[in-house]
Amino acid sequence: MARQNGMTIKDQLYGMVCGFIKLIQMTSGKKQGNPSPGREEAPNSPPPTASFLSDIANAEASSPLPPPPPSPPNPDDPKYASDPEVYRRDKQAAEAAITAFTAAAQVRGAAVAQIITQWLATSPDVMFQELLAQPRSTMPIFKPAIGPVIVMRHPEVIRCLERTDLFTVDLYAAEMARATDDKTRHPDAYIHFMLGTDHDDLYQLDDVILRRAVSRSDKDTLIRLAREEAERWTHQAQVEGTGEIDVAATIAKFVPLRIVGDYLGVHYCEAGAPSALPGLRGGDHFALDENLQKFFTFTRIKEGIVPTGDDLFDWVKDAFRNIFNNINPAHPKFTEYRERGIIATEYLSAYIFALLQHHKARLQHGEIVPDTMLTRLLRMQLELEQNAGKLEEEFARLLGAPLPQGELARRLSDSMIRSNVFGTTVGAVVNP
């Protein structure tokens, strides 16, 4: 998942995000304003004096664990040779202890998960700062843990990414798979996107492909986009004479959306304004693509929507929350968040595919298209069709091993481009 030598696409994106944050801080130059009138504050927000670690400790104290269960008895142990009844009793006792410990661990895991979910939703900055402020010696990573664990410091994060035998994203696999092709309709389909797998055999080729589409040489472009969008909001605040900026509702929201649109290729537009799709405007509905429906199952929506900024932001927020933060079925909003996440995934998948088909047709006719991650992947797809041998040799050299027959075509299929653009978009905007 992460490499000892060379930067992976995840490292690059992490660095870009850090740059965005610094740029936004420098560009805004103003304090964050109060919430807009009528805007609700996050429910159940911890009070300013609350402590994340204290809440975790209280959750653990309220969900005590019994002693660890003993190992199951060995029926070949000589002590059972003359008395099978003793073995039966010991076996039942061990099974009962395992059952009791498992049940208690599930209760504790849910309690810890609920605290983490609440803090992530309401006061993530306070939570992260408290964790980073702890002495390294008091925050050991590799120890028995019940429930989710938050890893903060860079060396430990890299260690976790390297140890895929111990740390996995499989917990989120089922919900991530909703953005990929339906295997009942497309049995050979991959059910992952690049930023959502820790299996090296799946990850490495996608990493090479996306590093060809997203490179560090794009840094100046990203800085320009972030600066232009941030300055747009600071200029508006100056014109209005307010002297304040609601960072969450403006810069923190629209700088990532600008990059998602102009760099990744998933554009939004104002309601009624012309969109990237011919003949359609912001807020317009469009028919679901027949080719997409051959492989992707829509269970909630009947047609697509050209998103406004609010639409796109909400889709990304709802999809991210359902995939990565909606893991506790006991949470009172679990069902609501699951439903909203599925709807958002379907809308976003339909829109990305519509953009993909539009730009692909233009490329095939030799027309000019915007330079984005989406169109760069489509150019690679076209390059593969025109000169497969050359491109396959290039990727085999980068991987250090020959590619299986037809593998590069599978990774550059419309389906994989759609799901990888989906995954990158969802990861680029918000972490609700």
User: Helices H, strands E: what count in the chain?
Assistant: 16, 2
Confidence of residue 31 (pLDDT cuts 50, 70, 90): very low
Q: How far, in Å, CA of 45 to CA of 130, rounded?
A: 16
Burial label, 318 (beta-carbon count in 10 A; 0-12, 13-18, 19+): buried
Element (H, E) at 285: strand 285-287
Residues 19-24 have a mean pLDDT of 41
Look at the block and give the residue holding tokens 């680029």.
Answer: 428
**How confident is the model over 141-164, as pLDDT tens digits?**
556 678 777 888 888 888 887 887
Q: What is the pLDDT of residues 328-380, one digit of tens each?
A: 888 899 999 999 999 999 999 999 999 999 999 999 999 999 999 999 999 99
Give the Cα separation of 227 and 231 in Å (integer): 6
| 281: β partners | 274
Lookup: tokens for 369: 């298209």
Question: What does the domain layout of the chain look like in residue ranges?
Answer: 52-162, 172-429
Nearest to 221 by CA among 269, 267, 262: 262
Contact predicate 147/113, CB 8 Å: yes
Q: What is the CB-side half-sphere exposure of residue 347 using CA atoms within 13 A?
A: 24
Residue 250 has pLDDT above 50, yes or no: yes
CA atoms of 128 and 120, how far apart (whole Å): 9
Distance CA(204)–CA(200), nearest Å, equals 6
Question: How much is the pLDDT for 396?
Answer: 94
pLDDT at 46: 52
Q: Are 210 and 194 in contact (CB under 8 A)?
A: yes
Structure tokens at 333: 């909003």
Q: In the prediction, which pLDDT does 48 show?
A: 52
**What are the DSSP calls for 196-215, one per residue?**
G---HHHHHHHHHHHHHHS-
CA-CA distance, 175 to 426, in Å (whole number)? 13
Helix axes 373-386, 388-399, angle to 10 degrees: 120
Q: Can you tell me which residue has the tokens 């290729």?
A: 265
Residue where the block lists tokens 């050299």: 397
Q: Which residues contact 398 (CB under 8 A, 6 or more apart)?
A: 208
Do β-strands 303-305 and 285-287 pair in parallel, antiparallel, or remain unpaired? Answer: antiparallel
Q: Could you tell me which of 251, 221, 155, 195 has the C-alpha nearest to residue 16?
A: 221
Strands (E), 48-129: none
Please give the structure tokens belonging to residue 138: 């008091």
Q: Which residues contact 268 (CB under 8 A, 6 or more apart)?
A: 257, 261, 282, 307, 308, 309, 311, 312
Position with higher pLDDT, 104 vs 202: 104
Q: Which residues pair with 305 in a beta bridge?
A: 285
**What's the CA gap between 376 and 418, in Å, rounded?**
13
Which backbone phi and psi does 32 adopt, to 5 degrees? -75, 135
Q: What is the mean pLDDT of residues 74-84?
A: 89
The pLDDT tens digits of the residues spanning 167-219 come to 777 788 889 889 999 989 999 888 776 666 776 777 889 989 999 999 889 99
CA distance 216 to 7: 10
Enter the pTM of the model. 0.74
Instruction: Please give the Cα distance from 45 to 41 (Å, whole number).
Output: 8
pLDDT at 2 over 90: no
pLDDT greater than 80 at residue 425: yes
- Contact status, residue 327 vs residue 116, Cβ threshold 8 Å: no
